[in-house]
Chains A and B, each alone.
Chain A
Amino acid sequence: MPSNNLPHAEERPKGASRSTLDAGAAPFSDAEHIVALSGVGKRFASGLEALDGIDLTVARGEFLSLLGPSGCGKSTLLRIVSGLSEPTRGTCQVSLGEPGRSIPSGRIGFVFQDPTLMPWSNVAANVELPFRIAGRVGDEQRDRAAAALRAVGLAGFERAYPRQLSGGMRMRVSIARALVTDPELLLLDEPFAALDEITRFALNDDLLRLWQTRRPTVLFVTHSVFESVYLSSRIAVMSPRPGRIVADLPVSLPQPRDGVRTSPAYAAMCETVSGALGSAMSDTHT
């Protein structure tokens, strides 16, 4: 596997604060940023140009949404940050270690579009999976799994099997599994896209509450303008083929956001973001 930090001087990010990084994942000298992408491009073996020239920094504790149409490389970007995929150009630096190599397990939580549960294991065993892989499942880990399940409103469902749960509940289990190790960085890849609107709103509120109490850094991939505005502290709008970031918009709606959905400020922000997304789309004629 090639290193994420390509050893070419000209491809390193400029600026004194980030120039000390070498192939061996030194910790970030800039403590404010947890993720720093510089000139990141991804070309698949098929020749498909998924991402091009992505520059993006994510501050610690931020809730950043990546908003864009399907096929704009949002998920690819998330996989690069997690280390599941490697950029073909540019650098991806994560303050927790080198993506895919030296990031200690459990520092990053990942939630997929599908709940991605093991159907043969009950809810508790699914949530305890990160601990089982780390080779330690004791009373403390079981307590933490129970606490994570309480946090997503599933206390008492420990012994249920995934197929006995509704789609929304399965997604809650998936979120509990991502949270159980108390990750600093939480990556969510369109987690609520397959859910009905009522369930989706409920899970949006739960996610916001979890973010406010635990304050992980969140990277949230979505194609819903309303969802991104409701959840985020910042929105990066992406255009497709190849994926680029075309707008970077801070969201200055008050927290907590109960009742924000009907406020004029929310509507205005949605319009701004829709406009940015619209121009991103018209540029590329999709």
Chain B
Amino acid sequence: MIGPRALRILAPLLIGAVFLALWEAVVRVKGIPPYILPAPSAVALSLWVDGPSLLGSLLVTLRITLAALAAAALIGGAIALLFSRSRILELSLFPYAVILQVTPIVAIAPLIIIWVRQPFLALLVCAWIVAFFPIVSNTTVGLNSADRNLLALFRLYGASPGQTLLYLRVPTALPYFLAGLRISGGLALIGAVVAEFVAGTGGAETGLAFRILEAGYRLAIPRLFAALFLLSLTGIVIYLLLDWLSRRVLQHWHESASAREEE
């Protein structure tokens, strides 16, 4: 029979195949023109034809996404460390982190693009603003979640604040940080895409988002779908990679990484 692991992969694949087949059938039977809704086969064809140039654009977007994610991890982690060392700092700055988070990036992006002249940097800043908050807020909670008895034990053995941070608070915060990183991975991609939409960079350095806009204007809807498909695929791959990283790092000790072993 089919094991639970195989089912986990096969079931969604089957659903996907059925959905694509229905889509193809509806488009063909009803004769829907491709500029309204292209058939999956047309999208696949466009993916094949425009693939190389779309992949080039994907690389541009991916570079911004990964740079923003790395910056979010580094700066977000550093801000969280700062917050955990100083309650005053946390109390006074955290509300502004929230404000930055809840203000829609679409609204700030034009300003950032005006202020930051260098296009790559401007897009990076936009994506970073979207991505850094989950890391800051998660890591801050994690750094403050150290076991009270372990803290007492560290005190009893005369640990310095630095030792307590390194040996106790940082390891405690690691699962929180990684959970934040997984959320931020998807957000960095969204941030990069939104910023590209607003910036509309042309020329050689054209990201995938701009290709989507461009394809929309030219009614090249199959290509729009192909670009969209690549974008989703990228998001999924980023998530899977971060999930794998998280499991790998926590495999020995954290419950989140061990749930599957029990089956």
Chain B associates with chain A: yes
**A positions within 8 Å CB-CB of B:** 79, 82-84, 105-106, 108, 110, 112, 114, 116, 118-122, 129-130, 132-134, 161-163
Decide: A120 and B157 in contact? CB cutoff 8 A. Answer: no
The answer to whether B153 touches A105 (Cβ under 8 A) is no
Q: Which 8 pairs show the lowest CB-CB distances between chains A and B?
A: A105-B158, A119-B253, A116-B149, A133-B157, A120-B171, A133-B159, A112-B149, A105-B157
Q: 1/0 contact trace for B146-171 toward A, CB 8 Å? A: 01011011111111000100011001
Interface centre among B155, B157, B255, B258 (most CB of A within 10 A): B157
What separation, in Å, do the CA atoms of A120 and B251 have in the docked complex?
9
Q: Is the CB of A116 within 8 A of B153?
A: yes
Tell me which of B147, B153, B254, B258 has the highest count of chain A C-beta atoms within 10 A of its own C-beta.
B153
What residue of chain B has the Cβ atom nearest to residue A130's Cβ?
B157
25 inter-chain pairs at a CB distance below 8 angstroms, sorted by A residue, are A82-B156, A83-B156, A84-B155, A105-B157, A105-B158, A106-B157, A108-B156, A110-B153, A110-B156, A112-B149, A116-B147, A118-B150, A118-B167, A118-B168, A121-B171, A122-B252, A129-B157, A130-B157, A133-B154, A133-B157, A133-B158, A134-B158, A161-B253, A162-B253, A163-B255
A84 and B150: CB pair below 8 A?
no
Q: What is the number of contacts between chain A and chain B, taking CB atoms within 8 Å?
A: 56
Q: Any chain A CB within 8 A of the CB of B67?
A: no
Query: Contact between B171 and A105 (Cβ–Cβ < 8 Å)?
Result: no
Overall SS of chain A's interface: loop
B149, B150, B152: residue with the most chain A Cβ atoms closer than 10 Å: B149
B44 to chain A, nearest CB (A): 46
Q: Does B174 contact A (CB under 8 A)?
A: yes
The answer to whether A120 touches B156 (Cβ under 8 A) is no
| Whole-angstrom CA separation of A121 from B171 in the bound complex | 9
Does the CB pair A105–B156 fall under 8 Å?
Answer: yes
Q: Which residue of B lies closest to A85 (CB)?
A: B152
Q: By the criterion CB–CB under 8 Å, are A163 and B253 in contact?
A: yes
**Most chain B CB neighbours (cut-off 10 Å) among A83, A110, A118:** A118
Chain B residues, CB < 8 A from A82: 156
Among residues of B, the one whose C-beta sits closest to the C-beta of A189 is: B149
